[in-house]
Amino acid sequence: MTKVWERDENTLAQRFMKNELGGIFRKHILVRDNESAVIEKEGQIYEKIGSGLHTISSFLDREFTEVVFVDNSIKNVKEKASDIWTKDDKKINAVFEMKFRIYDPKKFIKNLLKTKNIFGTEELWDEIYTELLSKVLIPEIRKRSIDELYGNREFLKSLEASFDIELKKLLNLWGIEL
């Protein structure tokens, strides 16, 4: 029986244990276009494979324990950061939108998926919020009053540019590109 990854559009990666793949000594997996599969042995990355029909042998592949499927297609995330407080204690909202793709499945697995079995766009948003919005964007907005923010295109462009630079650095660490 050949394992084909059935995923929804928001799933970025999913881990399958060896016994979930069917077969006794040989496991057959189909990696579709815009997907990668990474073979792991006890949490350590052993090999990355691209699209096609693959046979993984328990004898030849060092007793692998897991296969992680990764979606390499272009994805879009659009989220809203609500209730960001300004210096004069007014609340504003910010809309965040990005198009991205996973270019390095090994980095993605090592730095984001870690021990999780499934990782989607919602979890990615949570990571971005924790790592960037709460540490970079929100403190900058908190330093300014509502009047300083609205209509101040120069500041907003500067904030967006610096946020973009930090976002690209962070995503690169995770094996993701804009």
Instruction: Spell out the residues 6+ positions from residue 122 whose beta carbon is closer than 8 angstroms to its own.
Output: 10
Same-domain check for residues 50 and 118:
no
More confident residue, 24 or 77: 77
Closest CA to 136 of 110, 159, 105, 112: 159
> pLDDT tens for residues 84-137?
999 999 999 989 999 999 999 999 999 999 989 999 999 999 999 999 888 888
- The residue out of 50, 71, 92 marking a domain boundary is 71
Domain that holds residue 148: 75-177
The tokens for 109 are: 């697995």
- Tell me: pLDDT of 176 over 70: yes
Structure letter (DSSP) for residue 48: E
Same-domain check for residues 14 and 29:
yes
Rounded to two decimals, the pTM is: 0.89
φ, ψ for residue 7, nearest 5 deg: -135, 160
In whole angstroms, how large is the CA radius of gyration of the chain?
20
